[in-house]
């Protein structure tokens, strides 16, 4: 991780951190700059983002998207969206649509929209050429046998007994594979490279397998499908991709990527690898995310606890925050793990600038101001966003009975507690100074109502005699409040590295049982009654929240996007030791 960036956030007031410059340099950018200097691709920059449509995109993909699109944009280049749909068994149109939506939401527009399956005919012709050139052969070994013959990192592989069958025989068998004469798994087409290569990917890799399966685009036209390694580089080449960025696990595949391109004598796209994004407390694997959805561990792909683009969008994260985050983590050649807190920092930083402030009480405690006239209502002026003067002001109703947070009152204040307590004066934000006088308790001894007095001379929150109060708390007028459901999210996993599991356990055992808390009856200021779907607010002193699609007319549902930094929780923790 780039050490110049803070690991933890500075709270909601941290606007002083400048947003990262749009293009901090990195080694991939340097490669492109070099290629432009030497005119390697006649000044062109062409990239692609190649998702496999077998799941929803996640924040890791956002990193790849920002690189692919961002670098091309910077150099006046082009970026294609290409679906890597070579495996008919796991791929679905639903995923294709969600991926398009997510890329657009992140703020990018593709130039060409392609599918690896667009190239199945061309890939087939090229396979024929490789057979004719003696560079590929049909093998009758089973998948299991191929694995055995492959050898290990320390032992060379063994030639398949079919490796030297004639070109004519391979051609004939390959055509019949295509015609559907053979069952799944009975034969493969393999590249003839080197069974003793120290790189296992070069030990006669499989190019085609037989799969009698319907494809989401080509239907039943094919019953042989190309492997990723045989399809990817050639697809890049067909699209004249100059810089084909992918994650580090493909580094050992690069010699094979180049081998196919060289044997075929086609446009030499260049593969460049970078580190995968890993985030603490987060799993970034489509397979695992699918499992969470299938087993109902979450409420779907767009559950706000999911690291999917759909999930973080619903949670209230902004595309700007994600792009700034990705720009700031940079790229490297070693895989590490980024603090989730850092992503949250960028979310706060962005929302701080744009989110209107409102008052909402999540766990209401009623207060009654005994000396405030009954039935009187005052409209208090409240600032919409201290970070943005143009956001203006709004009126908030003040009356004799209000709600404050249960946390903001203690009968007997612990040390360093500056909020309301018996005999203590505090400021009601945009309201008056009040002093707690007495409490009403239920049969369990819990405080259910606090009686206070107010000083009428302190309207707006300041005392004319200049006396100071240490605490300022938020509130809503009981008679005017809007009821809302508020969903509070914590990390989905309780382990920093969720994939770290004890023997006999599963990553799902690391799920945080408290990742979702539903507050059924929060009290909001009335301006939120009809807040638009997806709109984002700062609930003063609590965090950033956004309107969830589950909201109904007059019945808003809010998601907590991210909390504000809670200094009190830290003090309390320290005190408890």
Q: Does 246 bind ligand ATP (CB under 6 A)?
A: yes
Q: Using CB under 6 A as the criterion, what x/- string covers residues 112-141 for binding ligand ATP?
A: ------------------------------
Q: How far is CA 67 from CA 24, 60, 221, 363, in A?
A: 12, 11, 35, 43
Cα–Cα distance, 425 to 436 (Å, whole number): 7
**Closer CB to ligand ATP, residue 289 or residue 367?**
289
Report in angstroms how near the CB of residue 343 gets to ligand ATP at its nearest: 13
Judged by CB under 6 A, the chain residues 432 through 471 that form the site for ligand ATP are none
* Residue span binding ligand ATP (CB under 6 A) among the ranges 259-267, 284-292, 346-354, 556-564: 284-292
Residue 454, classed as helix, strand or coil, is strand
Q: Are 495 and 504 in contact (CB under 8 A)?
A: no
Residue 64 CB, shortest distance to ligand ATP, in Å, is 4
d(CA 36, CA 80): 20
CA pair distance 289, 507, nearest whole angstrom: 11
Distance CA 417, CA 404 (A): 16
Rounded Cα distance, 335 and 5, in Å = 17
205 scored as a contact of ligand ATP (CB under 6 A)? no
- β-sheet bridge partners, residue 338: 279
Angle between helix 59-74 and helix 27-37 axes, rounded to 10 deg? 20
15-74: which residues touch ligand ATP (CB under 6 A)? 50-52, 60-61, 63-64
* By CB under 6 A, residue 496 contacts ligand ATP: no
When CB distances to ligand ATP are compared, the closest residue is 60
The residue among 283 and 486 lying less far from ligand ATP, judged by its C-beta, is: 283
Q: Which is nearer to ligand ATP, 332 or 491 (CB)?
A: 332
The answer to whether the CB of 323 falls within 8 A of the CB of 66 is yes
| Annotated catalytic residue, options 150, 276, 366, 459 | 276
Angle at CA 179, nearest 5°, toward 173 and 180?
95
Both structure tokens of 393 = 């002001």
Q: Which is nearer to ligand ATP, 51 or 498 (CB)?
A: 51
Q: Name, in order, each residue with C-beta under 8 angstroms of 425's C-beta and a sequence gap of 6 or more.
A: 433, 434, 435, 469
CB of 335 to ligand ATP, least distance (A): 9
286 tagged catalytic: yes
Q: Three-state DSSP class for 169? A: helix
Give the DSSP letter of residue 338. B
Q: Minimal distance in Å, beta carbon 331 to ligand ATP?
A: 9
Across the strands, what pairs with 55?
A: none
Count of residues in contact with ligand ATP, rule CB under 6 A: 15
Interface with ligand ATP, residue 284, by CB under 6 A = yes
**Least Cβ distance, residue 63 to ligand ATP (angstroms):** 4
Question: Where does 406-481 show beta strands of DSSP type E?
Answer: 409-410, 420-421, 425-428, 433-441, 447-454, 472-473, 476-477
Query: In the window 251-280, what residues touch ligand ATP (CB under 6 A)?
Result: 276-277
Q: Does 507 bind ligand ATP (CB under 6 A)?
A: no
Active-site residue (options: 82, 286, 429, 565): 286
Nearer of residues 51 and 543 to ligand ATP, judged by Cβ: 51
Q: Is 497 in the site for ligand ATP (CB under 6 A)?
A: no
Q: Least distance to ligand ATP from the beta carbon of 116, Å? A: 11
285 interacts with ligand ATP by CB under 6 A? yes
188-191, strands of its sheet edge to edge: 136-139, 188-191, 206-210, 224-226
Q: Which helix (H) or strand (E) holds 383?
A: strand 378-383
352 and 346 Cβ atoms separated by less than 8 Å: no
Question: By C-beta, is 77 or 543 nearer to ligand ATP?
Answer: 77
Shortest distance, position 337 Cβ to ligand ATP, whole Å: 11
Binds ligand ATP (CB under 6 A): choice among 286, 323, 345, 427: 286
Q: Minimum distance between the CB of residue 472 and ligand ATP, rounded to whole angstroms? A: 42
Residues near ligand ATP (CB under 6 A): 50-52, 60-61, 63-64, 246-247, 276-277, 284-287
Known catalytic residues are 52, 276, 286
């Amino acid at each position: 991780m780039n050490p110049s960036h803070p690991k933890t956030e500075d709270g909601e007031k941290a606007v002083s951190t400048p947003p990262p410059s749009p293009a901090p340099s990195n080694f991939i950018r340097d490669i492109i700059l070099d290629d432009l200097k030497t005119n390697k691709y006649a000044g062109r920059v062409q990239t692609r983002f190649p998702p496999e449509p077998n799941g929803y995109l996640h924040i890791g993909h956002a990193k790849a998207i920002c690189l692919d699109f961002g670098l091309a944009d910077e150099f006046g280049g082009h970026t294609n969206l290409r679906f890597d749909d070579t495996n008919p068994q796991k791929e679905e149109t639903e995923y294709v649509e969600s991926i398009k939506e997510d890329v657009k939401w992140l703020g990018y527009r593709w130039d060409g929209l392609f599918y690896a399956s667009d190239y199945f005919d061309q890939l087939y012709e090229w396979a024929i050429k490789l057979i004719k050139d003696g560079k590929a052969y049909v093998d009758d070994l089973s998948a299991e046998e191929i694995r055995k013959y492959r050898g290990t990192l320390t032992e060379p592989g063994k030639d398949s007994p079919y490796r030297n069958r004639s070109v004519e025989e391979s051609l004939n068998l390959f055509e019949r594979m295509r015609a559907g004469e053979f069952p799944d798994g009975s034969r493969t087409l393999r590249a003839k490279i080197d069974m003793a290569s120290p790189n296992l990917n070069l030990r006669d890799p499989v190019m085609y397998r037989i799969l009698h399966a319907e494809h989401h685009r080509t239907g039943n036209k094919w019953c042989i499908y190309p492997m990723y390694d045989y399809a990817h580089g050639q697809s890049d080449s067909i699209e004249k991709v100059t810089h084909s960025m992918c994650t580090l696990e493909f580094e050992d595949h690069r010699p094979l990527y180049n081998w196919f391109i060289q044997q075929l004598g086609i446009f030499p796209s260049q593969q460049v690898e970078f580190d995968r994004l890993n985030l603490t407390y987060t799993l970034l694997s489509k397979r695992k995310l699918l499992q969470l959805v299938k087993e109902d561990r979450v409420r779907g792909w767009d559950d706000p606890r999911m690291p999917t683009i759909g999930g973080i969008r619903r949670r209230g994260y902004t595309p700007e925050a994600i792009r700034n985050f990705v720009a700031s983590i940079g790229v490297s050649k070693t895989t590490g793990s980024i603090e989730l807190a850092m992503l949250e920092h960028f979310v706060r930083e962005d929302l701080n600038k744009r989110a209107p402030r409102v008052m909402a009480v999540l766990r209401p405690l009623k207060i009654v101001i005994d000396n405030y006239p009954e039935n009187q209502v005052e409209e208090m002026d409240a600032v919409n966003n201290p970070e943005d003067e143009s956001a203006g002001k709004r009126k908030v109703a003040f009356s004799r009975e209000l709600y404050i947070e249960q946390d903001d009152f203690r009968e007997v204040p612990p040390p360093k507690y500056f909020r309301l307590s018996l005999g203590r004066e505090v400021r009601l934000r945009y309201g008056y100074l009040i002093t707690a006088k007495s409490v009403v308790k239920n049969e369990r001894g819990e405080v259910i109502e606090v009686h206070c007095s107010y000083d009428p001379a302190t309207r707006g929150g300041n005392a004319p005699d200049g006396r100071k109060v240490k605490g300022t708390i938020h509130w809503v007028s009981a008679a005017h409040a809007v009821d809302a459901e508020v969903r509070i999210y914590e990390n989905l996993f309780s382990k920093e590295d969720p994939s770290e599991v004890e023997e006999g356990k599963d990553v799902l055992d690391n799920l945080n049982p408290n990742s979702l808390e539903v507050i059924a009856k929060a009290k909001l200021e009335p301006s939120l009654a009809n807040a638009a779907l997806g709109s984002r607010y700062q609930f003063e002193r609590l965090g950033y929240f956004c309107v969830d699609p589950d909201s109904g007319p007059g019945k808003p549902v809010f998601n907590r996007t991210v909390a504000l930094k809670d200094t009190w929780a830290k003090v309390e923790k320290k005190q408890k030791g």
